[in-house]
Amino acid sequence: MRKPLLLLVAIALLIGGLATIKFAQRPPAPQFAPSLTQPAAPNAPLATGTQGVKHDPLPPFLPPEARRTIALIQQGGPFPHRQDGSVFGNREQRLPERPRGYYHEYTVDTPGAGNRGARRIVTGGNPPTGWFYSDDHYETFRSFDVPPAGSWQ
């Protein structure tokens, strides 16, 4: 009678341990930076400050080279890298879960790099309604908003 009880306890501990290991291996839930800009009204000019200085509607964390990439995305190309516009699989689930084909990736040039570098913009939707920037090859993302084409360039 004692051996079946020990066997049941051992099986329960094994199952509990396996479940703990499985849940410990799950990646942490993605965290996104809050939007750092307010969406611009359609066809609105760049906002000007009290001294007539133009306000940049793009967030300050974007490098200057991202402007060209965003403009190319909004006009539909042509893109300098053959991979630009390809489907981004979101395999690591660092972006909100969406059906395959929802996300597309684009290169943000890195001055002095002999290859594409690590900087990317990933868009969601067609036309894009979600914008995400990664400067570490998809390890982390920061979300941002982009005003309509032609209103910020």
> Where are the strands (E) in the chain, listed by range?
103-107, 120-124, 130-134, 142-144
Residue with token string 């920061």: 142
Active-site amino acid positions: 105, 137
> What is the CA angle 20-33-27, rounded to 5?
15
* Cβ 85 vs Cβ 131: under 8 Å: no
* Rg, the chain, Cα only: 23
Please state, in angstroms and rounded to a whole number, the distance separating the CA atoms of residues 149 and 89.
26
Q: What is the largest CA-CA distance in the chain?
A: 88
